[in-house]
């Protein structure tokens, strides 16, 4: 797949993939005769995984530490992130309740 095709398939921007490359998280697997970068299915899956980690709130630095780590380390990092997301969710719910209370006073 070309860079453009992989961006469409993985739902990321060209700039994001270039950032992943710069960080050493992914690399093109070849080039076309015209010089377009090519990526294999494994790269596509890795880019999707990187994007998911980002959506969970991991930084690129954290992703670099865990993406190729043993399963137990990945599991621990994800469990920690889930706990943080749950806490953030509670805080957001509390804030929403306060906003409704505030609106009742208008």
pLDDT tens-digit map of 35-66: 999 999 999 999 999 999 999 999 999 999 99
Q: How many CB atoms lie within 10 A of CB 83?
A: 10
Task: Note whether 37 and 56 are same-domain residues.
Answer: yes
Cα(first)–Cα(last) distance of the chain, in Å?
Answer: 56
Indicate the average pLDDT of the chain: 95
Structural domain of 25: 1-67
CA 56 to chain CA mean position, Å: 7
CA distance 2 to 33: 12
CA distances to 28, 63, 92, 106 from 3, rounded to whole Å, are 8, 21, 37, 52
Query: In the chain, how many domains are there?
Result: 2
Task: Note whether 6 and 48 are same-domain residues.
Answer: yes
pLDDT band at 2 (very low <50, low <70, confident <90, very high): very high
Task: Note whether 16 and 49 are same-domain residues.
Answer: yes
Task: Note whether 86 and 44 are same-domain residues.
Answer: no
- Give the HSE-up count for residue 21: Cα atoms under 13 Å, Cβ half-sphere: 15
**pLDDT surpasses 90 at 30:** yes
Q: Give residue 106's pLDDT.
A: 86
For the chain, give the percent of residues with pLDDT over 70: 100
Task: Note whether 27 and 61 are same-domain residues.
Answer: yes
Q: Give residue 105's pLDDT.
A: 87
CA distance 32 to 60: 28
């Amino acid at each position: 797949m070309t860079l453009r095709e992989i961006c469409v398939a993985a739902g990321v921007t060209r700039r994001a993939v270039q950032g992943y490359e710069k960080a050493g998280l992914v690399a093109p697997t070849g080039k076309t005769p015209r010089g377009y970068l090519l990526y294999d299915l494994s790269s596509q899956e890795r880019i999707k995984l990187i994007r998911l980690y980002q959506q969970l709130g991991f930084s690129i630095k954290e992703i670099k530490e865990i993406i190729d780590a043993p399963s137990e380390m990945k599991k621990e990092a994800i469990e920690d992130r889930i706990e943080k997301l749950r806490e953030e969710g509670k805080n957001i719910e509390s804030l929403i309740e306060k906003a409704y209370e505030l609106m009742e006073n208008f």
